[in-house]
């Protein structure tokens, strides 16, 4: 019996010893797959795709829901009808034509942004809210170079849109266009941002700023002046133009970036005119060959081809052949982007430029100037209407406002033989409204008169006389 027990123990011990020896000296070989960088990137993309496909029940909500953004933006977008009197004699009798568009309420007390071309030369502007309430609007100011205008209606507690940061908008991002195409009220369309800093040469003029946000959201006649919003309902642009051969939407629409819009309306509210800053340079886009000659890493930037005498660039020692590549840290890819960035500043403000010269990056701090090489904010002098109308005006003093209890501007002189002289208007006349729109300062009066197409009606009072006087005439024969 003992003999068999020992045989059994010996067999067990031999088996355990064999397993131990095998594990130490003959373990299975591990196969390791080594891949290069391209294969690694490809494999990671495959893994992401497989993970996404395996969780389709969670991820099938894309694209983003637009319901909240539409609910925020729609009540703040208005319909605008602008009437224009044309033809007729000295005292009217012409026909009324008009245009329609959209606008965006910016403040609860009734400031509204729209396009200049929507209200251009209009004599009467009507605004209809999304709830059908209708108001007469006053033109605060307008800027041809950016196609932006600012209106005001007298109301409180209005729905309004909050500004977003147009610089943070990315190509491929979802956006909504809200407006009134073909007089179809409160229409919302969706698309993506297809390009930024786009110049389509639609505004004309050497001082125009075209750095549009391009989208494929459907925009048609009547959408002009409406809102371009992101998926959180923030205003990132004002819809302005389309490229079309048929007159209707064909796939591309363009909006003025909100950061530029903010600066323009801030100027219009404060000064009734835009305080435009300039670098004092002529610029052009780069091509691949020029970029190579200048030793640039790519063809992005704005090439200086002219330096204005006495301008901001000359003061900062910039030279012809320099390539501006950033403004205050914002990358400049084209001339249109440079114009937009500089257009956000006023004369007298300073910007930091990064530019390329002789194969090296350089930096310069530039004090911006206006078109007359001045760093001062332009204010109404009062003689802006002298050449055309023979009229000079000024603001009422504080004492005059308190004594007369009236807002407006006072006529200081009327040139003999001028069109205003023929109406028998006398110095001392206080202009309180222009074409039915109230004015409270000389700046507002000058802006309103300059924006009027041809027929003018100046209403107001003389000191000590209770009767309202009205002078009607044509700006030009």
The answer to whether 117 is a known catalytic residue is yes
- Say if residue 182's pLDDT is above 50: yes
Q: Output the CA–CA distances (angstroms, integers) from residue 113 to 71, 148, 443, in the order listed.
A: 19, 7, 19
How confident is the model over 123-149, as a mean pLDDT? 91
Q: Output the CA–CA distances (angstroms, integers) from residue 383 to 93, 373, 439, in the order listed.
A: 31, 20, 17
Q: How far apart are alpha carbons 190 and 446 in whole angstroms?
A: 40
Q: Hey, do 62-271 and 281-367 end up sharing a CATH topology, with the first three levels equal?
A: no
Q: What does pTM read for this prediction?
A: 0.69
Catalytic residue, candidates 117, 122, 166, 322: 117
Catalytic residue, candidates 100, 122, 224, 336: 224
Cβ atoms of 434 and 456 closer than 8 Å? yes
Top pLDDT among 336 and 3 is at: 336
Residue 201, C-beta contacts closer than 8 angstroms, at least 6 positions apart? 210
Q: How far apart are alpha carbons 74 and 135 in whole angstroms?
A: 18
What is the distance of C-alpha 23 from the center of its chain? Answer: 73
Top pLDDT among 141 and 127 is at: 127
Classify domain 386-474 at the CATH superfamily level. PDZ domain (2.30.42.10)
Give the per-residue pLDDT at 426: 92
Going 264 to 266 to 272 to 278, the CA torsion angle's sign is: negative
- Least confident piece of the model among 2-6, 48-52, 167-171, 252-256: 48-52
63 preceded by a cis bond (ω within 30 of 0)? yes
- Say if residue 51's pLDDT is above 70: no
The model's confidence at residue 4, banded by pLDDT at 50, 70 and 90, is: low
Token representation of residue 309? 């005498």
The model's confidence at residue 92, banded by pLDDT at 50, 70 and 90, is: very low
Give the per-residue pLDDT at 57: 38
Give the per-residue pLDDT at 53: 39
Q: How far apart are alpha carbons 323 and 336 in whole angstroms?
A: 14
Maximum alpha-carbon separation in the chain: 147
Tally of CB atoms within 10 A around 421:
15
How confident is the model over 341-355, as a mean pLDDT? 95
Catalytic residue, candidates 100, 143, 147, 267: 147
How confident is the model over 352-371, as a mean pLDDT? 94
Q: What is the DSSP letter of 205?
A: S
How confident is the model over 333-346, as a mean pLDDT? 94
Architecture of domain 281-367: Roll (2.30)
Give the per-residue pLDDT at 89: 38
- Say if residue 108's pLDDT is above 60: yes
Token representation of residue 34? 């080594």
The answer to whether 147 is a known catalytic residue is yes
- Least confident piece of the model among 56-70, 126-140, 196-210: 56-70
Q: How far apart are alpha carbons 104 and 405 in whole angstroms?
A: 33
- Say if residue 39's pLDDT is above 70: no
The domain spans of the chain are 62-271, 281-367, 386-474
How confident is the model over 332-348, as a mean pLDDT? 94
Average pLDDT over the chain, rounded to whole?
Answer: 83
The answer to whether 224 is a known catalytic residue is yes
Architecture of domain 62-271: Beta Barrel (2.40)
Q: How far apart are alpha carbons 269 and 175 in whole angstroms?
A: 28
- Say if residue 38's pLDDT is above 80: no
């Amino acid at each position: 019996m003992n003999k068999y027990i020992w045989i059994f123990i010996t067999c067990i011990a031999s088996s355990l010893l064999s397993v131990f020896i095998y594990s130490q000296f003959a373990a299975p070989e591990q196969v390791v797959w080594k891949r290069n960088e391209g294969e690694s990137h490809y494999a990671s993309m495959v893994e992401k795709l497989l993970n996404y496909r395996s969780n389709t029940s969670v991820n099938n909500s894309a694209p983003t829901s637009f319901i909240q953004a539409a609910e925020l933006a729609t009540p703040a977008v208005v319909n605008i009808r602008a009437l224009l009197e044309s033809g007729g004699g000295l005292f009217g009798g012409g026909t009324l034509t008009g245009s329609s568009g959209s606008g965006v309420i910016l403040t609860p007390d009734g400031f509204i942004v729209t396009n200049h071309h929507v209200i251009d030369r209009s004599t009467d502007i009507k605004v209809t809210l999304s709830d059908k309430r209708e108001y007469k609007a006053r033109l605060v100011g307008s800027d041809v170079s950016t196609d932006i205008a600012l209106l005001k209606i007298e109301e409180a507690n209005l729905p309004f849109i909050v500004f977003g940061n147009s610089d943070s908008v990315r190509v491929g991002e979802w956006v909504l266009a809200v407006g009134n195409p073909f007089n179809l009220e409160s229409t919302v369309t969706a698309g993506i941002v297809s390009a930024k800093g786009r110049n389509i040469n639609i505004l004309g003029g050497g001082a125009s700023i075209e750095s549009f946000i391009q989208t494929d959201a459907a925009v048609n006649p009547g959408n002009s002046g409406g809102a371009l919003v992101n998926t959180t309902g923030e205003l990132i642009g004002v819809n302005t133009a389309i490229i079309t051969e048929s007159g209707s939407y064909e796939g591309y629409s363009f909006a003025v970036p909100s950061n530029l819009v903010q600066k323009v309306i801030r100027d219009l509210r404060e000064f009734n005119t835009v305080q435009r800053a300039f670098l004092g340079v002529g610029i052009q886009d780069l091509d691949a060959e020029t970029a190579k000659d200048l030793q640039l890493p790519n063809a992005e930037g704005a090439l200086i081809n002219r330096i204005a005498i006495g301008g901001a660039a000359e003061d900062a020692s910039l030279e012809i052949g320099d390539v501006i590549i950033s403004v205050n840290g914002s990358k400049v890819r084209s001339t249109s982007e440079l114009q937009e960035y500089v257009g956000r500043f006023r004369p007298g403000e300073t910007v930091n430029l990064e530019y390329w010269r002789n194969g090296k990056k350089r930096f310069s701090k530039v004090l911006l100037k206006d078109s007359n090489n001045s760093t001062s904010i332009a204010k109404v002098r009062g003689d802006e209407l002298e050449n055309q109308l023979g009229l000079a005006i000024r603001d009422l003093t504080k004492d005059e406002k308190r004594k007369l209890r009236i807002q407006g501007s006072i006529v200081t002189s009327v040139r003999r033989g001028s069109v205003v002289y023929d109406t028998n208007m006398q110095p001392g006349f206080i202009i309180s409204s222009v074409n039915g729109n109230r004015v409270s300062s000389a700046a507002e009066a000058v802006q309103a008169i300059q924006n009027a197409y041809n027929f003018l009606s100046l209403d107001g009072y003389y000191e000590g006389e209770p009767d309202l006087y009205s002078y009607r005439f044509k700006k030009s024969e």
